[in-house]
DNA sequence: GTCTA
DNA sequence: TACCATGCGCG
DNA sequence: TAGACCGCGCATGGTA
């Protein structure tokens, strides 16, 4: 094979897209987050099937697929359409609400308000609205400003370049600092939707001021950070740019005390599915696992002190996992 | 919308 | 000013 | 058939 080939598309991708569209409508328009999750779960079950679904018997009994979704799939199989989806698509207001939620910081609640109260029907109308600056908060204005840029994936090579700068500058602030880029990048992805940085330092008391120092340095000295969305003692969320010829990117930086670092590393490397799986295994083995620690659960539900963890391996060992 | 107690 | 509820993004 | 469906840091806006 001469060049890297695009991964073969899932044989049921059209059906999966339909389910995602139904999911989005429930989340953004109906504001039923659990229905959203139900549709997503059904879609992910179907995504695991490696052949084209021919009949309803192919999916009956699959995890997350009950009566209603099965009926919709049946409709899709026989007519190529799903009534409910066609109805949703005919709802202009719903479509407008969905569009609004493309903007970072505009969720279902605010999107509904913009469309229902302000009668705003499109992103363009929002951009040119005379009261735009009163209708949106700081984060949402940033989100609107960078909307198209944030929708672009970040190539792995670009993150690699950022990694060099980040590690160099963070270490320059304090050579006891340790930092890693986690998320899909650490899982080896060829492109990511944002940059997620974890930082730790052996001296707990220093952590909050260190985060502020890191943010200040990367902002004022290097103009690497271009905007701050939020910043507290343990988490920064913002925008960065490797140089002015490149797009603006979403970046998060979190600091953890060293005893929590490896639980955080595991958690923020993900993915979601692995996290859920490990939480369940932990529970089965009599532990409680989260992004901060692993604790033993006593017979009465009492929690032990956080167990010592000095590597990700330690966590797998407690849980007897490979 | 689906699953479970 | 202090506190609280809500919205949002996130692996 | 009622209730769960992950939980947390930060911003914001409301209330006392």
- pLDDT, tens digit, 9 for 90 and up, residues A266-307: 999 998 888 888 888 888 888 889 999 999 888 777 888 999
User: Which pair of tokens denotes residue A127?
Assistant: 């951009």
So where are chain A's domains?
Answer: 9-90, 93-151, 154-265, 271-319
What is the spatial distance between Cα A286 and Cα A217, in angstroms, rounded to a whole number? 44
Catalytic residues of A: 72
Domain A9-90: which topology? Answer: DNA polymerase; domain 1 (1.10.150)
| pLDDT(A252) > 90 | yes
Number of neighbours of residue A153 by Cβ within 10 angstroms = 15
Please give residues of chain A from 9 to 38 whose alpha-adjacent beta carbon (CB) lies under 7 Å from any atom of strand D: 34, 37-38
CA of A172 to C1' of D10 (A): 27
Matching CATH topology for A9-90 and A154-265?
Answer: no
| pLDDT(A4) > 50 | no
* Of A158 and A322, the one with more pLDDT: A158
| pLDDT(A169) > 80 | yes
| pLDDT(A91) > 80 | yes
Indicate yes or no: strand B within 7 A of the C-beta of A85.
no
User: Which pair of tokens denotes residue A13?
Assistant: 């991708």
Report yes or no: A260 and A204 within 8 Å, Cβ to Cβ: no
What does the mean pLDDT of chain A come to?
93
* CA closest to C10 C1', residue: A268
What is the spatial distance between Cα A81 and Cα A84, in angstroms, rounded to a whole number? 9
Calculate the CA A93 to chain-centre distance.
26
CATH code, residues A93-151:
1.10.150.20
User: Which pair of tokens denotes residue A246?
Assistant: 């490149």
User: Which pair of tokens denotes residue A192?
Assistant: 């990511």
**Chain B, protein-covered positions (CB within 7 A):** 1-3
The pLDDT of residue A1 is 35
Task: Give the three-class secondary structure for A249.
Answer: strand
What is the spatial distance between Cα A293 and Cα A310, in angstroms, rounded to a whole number? 11
Q: Percent of chain A at pLDDT above 70?
A: 98
Span A153-168, average pLDDT: 97
What is the spatial distance between Cα A317 and Cα A212, in angstroms, rounded to a whole number? 35
Q: How is domain A271-319 classified at the architecture level of CATH?
A: 2-Layer Sandwich (3.30)
Q: Which residues pair with A200 in a beta bridge?
A: A178, A256
pLDDT category at A8 given cuts 50, 70, 90 is low
* CA closest to B3 C1', residue: A64
> Which residue stretches of chain A are H helix?
13-24, 33-47, 67-79, 83-90, 92-100, 108-116, 123-127, 132-135, 138-145, 147-150, 156-173, 183-186, 207-216, 258-269, 272-284, 312-318
Indicate whether this model's pTM tops 0.85.
Answer: yes
**Chain C, protein-covered positions (CB within 7 A):** 6-11
Burial of A141 (0-12, 13-18, 19+ CB in 10 A): middle
Check: CATH 3.40.50.300 for A154-265? no
Please give residues of chain A from 193 to 212 whose alpha-adjacent beta carbon (CB) lies under 7 Å from any atom of strand C: 193-194, 196
The pLDDT of residue A7 is 56
CA of A184 to C1' of D4 (A): 29
* CA A258, A260, A262, A266 torsion-angle sign: negative
């Amino acid at each position: 094979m001469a060049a890297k080939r695009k991964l073969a598309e899932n044989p049921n991708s059209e059906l999966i897209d339909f389910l995602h569209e139904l999911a989005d409508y429930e989340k953004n328009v109906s504001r039923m987050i659990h229905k959203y999750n139900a549709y997503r779960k059904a879609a992910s079950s179907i995504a695991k099937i490696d052949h084209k679904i021919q009949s309803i018997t192919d999916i009956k009994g699959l995890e997350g697929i009950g009566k209603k979704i099965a009926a919709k799939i049946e409709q899709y199989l026989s007519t190529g359409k799903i009534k409910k989806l066609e109805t949703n698509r005919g709802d202009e207001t719903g479509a407008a609400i969905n569009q609004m939620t493309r903007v970072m910081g505009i969720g279902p609640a605010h999107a509904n308000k913009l469309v229902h109260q302000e009668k705003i029907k499109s992103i363009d109308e929002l951009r040119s609205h005379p009261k735009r600056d009163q209708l949106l908060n700081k984060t949402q204005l940033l989100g609107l400003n960078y909307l198209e840029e944030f929708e672009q994936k970040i190539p792995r090579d670009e993150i690699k370049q950022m990694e060099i700068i980040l590690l160099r500058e963070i270490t320059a602030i304090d050579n006891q600092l340790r930092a890693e880029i986690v998320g899909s990048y650490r899982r080896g992805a060829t492109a990511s939707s944002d940059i997620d940085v974890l930082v730790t330092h052996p001296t707990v008391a220093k952590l909050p001021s260190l985060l502020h120092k890191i943010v200040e340095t990367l902002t004022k000295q290097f103009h690497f950070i271009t905007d701050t969305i939020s910043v507290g003692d343990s988490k920064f969320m913002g925008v960065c740019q490797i140089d002015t010829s490149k797009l603006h990117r979403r970046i998060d930086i979190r600091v953890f005390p060293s005893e929590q670092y490896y639980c955080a590393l595991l958690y923020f490397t993900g993915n979601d599915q692995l996290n859920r799986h490990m939480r369940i295994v932990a529970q089965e083995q009599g532990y409680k696992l989260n992004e901060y620690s692993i604790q033993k659960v006593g017979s009465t539900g009492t929690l032990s002190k956080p167990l010592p963890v000095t590597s990700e391996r330690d966590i797998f060992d407690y849980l007897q996992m490979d």
